Amino acid sequence: MVLRNRSLIQRKRMTEQKQKEKVRIGRSNLVVGLTGPFGSGCGEMRKVLEVLGFHPFKISEDIRKELKGQEKLIVKGKPNWRKVLQDRGNEMRKESQDYWIKKVVARIDKEEIGNRKIVVDGFRNFQEVQEIRKIYPNFFLVAICAQKNERWQRVKNDYEGRYNEFERDDRRDRSEDYDWGQSVQKCVDDADYVYYNNENFLVYPQGKEEPNSDKIKRTLKNQADDFVSLMPGITDHRGPHPEEVQMAAAYAQSNSSKCKKRHVGAVITITQDSREFPISMGYNENPPHVPTCSELQICCKDEDMAAKLKARGKDICCPSCGTRQKDLSEPWTCSECSENLKECLYPSRNMELCTAIHAEERAILSLGGRIVKGGRLYATTFPCFQCARLILDAGIGKVVYVEAYPMKETTEFLEKNGVEVVPFTGFTARAFFRVFKKVN
């Protein structure tokens, strides 16, 4: 009789658990996730959304709580404070990919917020984004980006002026070559909405520059008003901007790519009678009859970098901390400071050895030698320096891009030669048809 009662209790608990999971999977809350390079303004956007009625959560709160339990207090300004957070985040994601997402969801459950809107700040890993998308069908990832020099002005006090440490953390944050690491670039690539929070400085007579906090809050509020109104599917708020239409076409092109690293799309347009028309498109792919890296299951650039790092062996000293490496192997990080040595020693990432024709290059080749004076190029990533030369040669006058970490040298080269370089703001193809309903 006792065993029978225990069995009934166990079955009841299992049924309750299944019901909870079912409710969780079918949640209808509008959830906004925030991602982007640190210093871009995700924290400020979280505060703006909180004023608009969103219940706020931060992924890093759970990381800090666990570190505090280990008597590791995170104090901004202390050397390596962000590295400690990064290490702990990686450590637990390596054990379970959805470790931190489960923590956030458990806190949401505990607070019993019902159908209230939610904002979750601090997505820095691509797999975590995919996990929360499974739980909340009405999840939108918003990427807040800003230029590197502007981000440094905002966070330099947190680093007490240690720019080298900022650069190391930024490289690591952008992209680590393993699934459980930081991958902000991939998160931005997967975003539903992108906003570039740039050019918000106060300039004083002495030439000193400081972030204009009032302007930042004001511009972030304007952007939040834009995307929050459209996310529930309100059709009378506004239609898609021309830039959103053309960028959606560029994203559609990127789906044809078989590159292992990044799928890139590009669209070239001309303007006639105040209307913009696409005339050429392209995506990154190898020439015909050349096997793709997806088919070969290798990336030529990465294979070459790995071979060079292996050959150098114990001769490698970390450029950041000076530690001589003993047993260097994948994922090619410094044994002392976790610096990404591939990123640090090969800043171009061997781009010159890529076997693919780039999306921008293919779109320009498809013009058949035609010069599109004043045309526009929309690209789902920032053009490399080699493509910048082709852009100038084709007469293109404006480049619109999506990229968390644009190359300073390429930007300067294009602008110096009369090309306007503009970061894209708006809904990406991932959310385009969710928010812009077709009206008959």
Q: How far apart are CA 2 and CA 212, in angstroms?
A: 69
Q: What is the pLDDT of residues 217-249, one digit of tens each?
A: 888 999 999 999 999 866 567 889 999 999 999
Q: How far apart are CA 304 and CA 297, in angstroms?
A: 14
> Greater confidence, 21 or 88?
88
CATH code of the region 21-230? 3.40.50.300
Task: Tell me: pLDDT of 22 over 50.
Answer: no
Residue spans per domain, the chain: 21-230, 242-285+356-423, 299-352
What's the rounded mean pLDDT across residues 206-225?
79
Q: What is the pLDDT of residues 255-270, one digit of tens each?
A: 998 888 889 999 999 9
Per-position DSSP letters for 268-321, written without gaps between them: EEEEETTEEEEEEEEE-BPPTTSPPHHHHT--HHHHHHHHHHHHHGGG-B-TTT
Q: Which long-range contacts (CB under 8 A, 24 or more apart) does 49-55 make?
A: 49/117, 49/119, 49/224, 49/228, 50/119, 52/117, 52/224, 52/228, 53/116, 53/117, 54/116, 54/117, 54/118, 54/119, 55/108, 55/111, 55/113, 55/116, 55/117, 55/118, 55/119
User: Is the peptide bond preceding residue 331 cis, with omega within 30 degrees of 0?
Assistant: yes
Q: For residue 144, give the H/E element and its range.
A: strand 139-145
Say what the pLDDT of residue 14 is: 59
Q: What is the pLDDT of residues 110-132, one digit of tens each?
A: 998 888 999 999 999 999 999 99
Angle of the 81-95 helix axis to the 163-174 helix axis, nearest 10:
20
Q: How far apart are CA 345 and CA 111, in angstroms?
A: 47
Domains 21-230 and 242-285+356-423 in one fold: no
Say what the pLDDT of residue 429 is: 95
Domain spanning 242-285+356-423, CATH architecture: 3-Layer(aba) Sandwich (3.40)
Q: How far apart are CA 341 and CA 266, in angstroms?
A: 31
Say what the pLDDT of residue 350 is: 66
Residue 204: band (very low, low, confident or very high) from pLDDT cuts 50, 70, 90: very low
